[in-house]
């Protein structure tokens, strides 16, 4: 029997402000946001002074599963996602999927911050246009999310991207890193580095979608090790400039936190006290150890969707924000409710059968906090 994953971080709720004027509502929301989070953190081990008040920033990742447009792209294999293809991918289904995924994004962390996510990494998007269409959905268009995207050479035509709220995160640079393999016929997603300022803190985000386990976990493992080496190269280049650089690596890594690609090649630990020097902290290690996952396969859970943080983000050194906690957003409406796959993520398709779902992955996010001084 597949065990339904549980959410494992505490909830924070804030008072509604519907009847207030816009200015008063903003001030009241901010006040209750600060007070509510302060009450939450007062019981945490690092909150020594109960009068401390904190403000959160939320950073997430979501594999939204095969977000294709309905137009044939001659350079990629997108035939199944055409109106004439095996999945009968029509305009109506495309716009419906945009709203389904946007609804999820709109609700992630909304109980902690009234504006939800400040930064969100995405994968399995066909091009920049589909991401821009996603951001125009009625569920999130008021947030004015901006898009960072580069086309990558993946044969299926899926890329990674990053969207951000410009009121919270100011992007000043980005670069796509290509994975070069000995087998030049192997083509996969680029790794996207985005650099910006998160409410005063220079913060770098690396968005990844490492090679899949197609052909078997062991047979395909060298591909993920190579992807991990590339990620580590990006990290080391940032740390060489600033040893206290604030870096997040996020993505669908197609490996669990305990696999060597993550634990050894990236050099990530599940113990915050060991996240020093060049060792990163894996915010998804603890939920993985508790049997919680983001995707299910053959009656077992994997936690491929991860967020890794540099030591400076764990301790707060050299900036304002530091790590508080992590969540897997696995609300009941995102799960199948019946049949052999009850509890699994509710997908858009199973094979070629349309399910009108969301994704085969649950999204994740981390909570960063800074003290109000």
Residue 177, beta-bridge partner list: 191
Structure tokens at 319: 């900036």
pLDDT at 33: 52
More confident residue, 181 or 160: 160
Domain positions in the chain are 22-371
pLDDT tens track for 82-112: 999 999 999 999 999 999 999 999 999 999 9
Q: Which has the closest alpha carbon to 160: 127, 184, 115?
A: 127
Average pLDDT over residues 103-123: 97
Distance separating alpha carbons of residues 197 and 367, to the nearest angstrom: 17
pLDDT at 270: 98
Question: Is domain 22-371 in CATH 3.40.50.620, yes or no?
Answer: no
pLDDT tens track for 6-38: 443 333 322 223 332 333 333 334 444 554 454
Distance of CA 252 to the CA centre of its chain: 8
Lowest average pLDDT, out of 13-17, 235-239, 308-312, goes to 13-17
Q: Which residues lie below 8 Å from residue 22, measured CB to CB, with a gap of 6+?
A: none
Lowest average pLDDT, out of 30-34, 56-60, 192-196, goes to 30-34
Q: Which has the closest alpha carbon to 271: 303, 229, 314?
A: 314
- Reported confidence tier of residue 332, pLDDT bands at 50, 70, 90: very high
Q: Which has the closest alpha carbon to 190: 202, 169, 174, 176?
A: 176
How many CB atoms sit inside 10 A of residue 172's CB? Answer: 9
How many CB atoms sit inside 10 A of residue 233's CB? Answer: 11
- Reported confidence tier of residue 75, pLDDT bands at 50, 70, 90: confident
- Reported confidence tier of residue 4, pLDDT bands at 50, 70, 90: very low
Residue 179 class from Cβ within 10 Å (0-12 exposed, 13-18 middle, 19+ buried)? buried
What are the phi and psi torsion angles at 206 (to 5°)? -110, 120
């Amino acid at each position: 029997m597949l065990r339904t994953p549980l959410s494992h971080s505490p909830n924070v709720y804030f008072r509604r402000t519907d009847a207030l004027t816009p200015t008063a509502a903003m001030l009241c929301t901010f006040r209750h946001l600060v007070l509510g989070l302060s009450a939450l953190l007062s019981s945490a081990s690092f909150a020594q002074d109960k009068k401390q008040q904190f403000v959160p920033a939320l950073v997430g990742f979501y594999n939204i599963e095969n977000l294709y447009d309905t137009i044939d792209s001659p350079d990629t294999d997108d035939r199944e996602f055409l109106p004439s293809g095996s999945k009968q991918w029509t305009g109506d289904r495309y716009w419906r999927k945009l709203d389904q995924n946007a609804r999820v994004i709109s609700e992630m962390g909304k109980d902690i911050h009234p504006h939800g996510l400040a930064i969100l990494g995405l994968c399995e998007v066909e091009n920049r246009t589909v991401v821009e269409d996603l951001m125009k959905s009625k569920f999130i268009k008021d947030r004015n999310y901006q898009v960072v995207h580069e086309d990558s050479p993946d044969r299926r035509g899926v890329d990674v991207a990053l969207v951000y709220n410009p009121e919270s995160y100011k992007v000043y640079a980005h670069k796509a890193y290509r994975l070069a393999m000995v087998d030049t016929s192997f083509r996969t997603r680029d790794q996207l580095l985005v650099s910006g300022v998160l409410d005063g803190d220079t913060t770098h985000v690396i968005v990844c979608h490492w090679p899949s386990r197609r052909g078997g976990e062991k047979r395909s493992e060298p591909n993920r090790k190579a992807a991990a080496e590339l990620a580590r190269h990006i990290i080391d280049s940032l740390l060489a400039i600033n040893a206290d650089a604030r870096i997040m690596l996020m993505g669908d890594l197609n490996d669990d936190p305990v696999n060597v690609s993550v634990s050894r090649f990236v050099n990530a630990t599940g113990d915050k006290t060991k996240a020093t020097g060049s060792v990163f902290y894996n915010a998804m290690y603890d939920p993985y150890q508790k049997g919680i996952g983001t995707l299910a396969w053959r009656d077992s859970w994997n936690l491929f969707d991860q967020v890794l943080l540099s030591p400076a983000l764990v301790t707060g050194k050299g900036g304002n924000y530091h790590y508080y906690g992590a969540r897997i957003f696995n609300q009941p409406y995102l799960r199948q409710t019946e049949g052999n796959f009850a509890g699994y993520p509710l997908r858009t398709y199973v094979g070629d059968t349309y399910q009108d779902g969301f994704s085969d992955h649950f999204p994740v996010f981390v909570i960063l906090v800074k003290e109000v001084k």
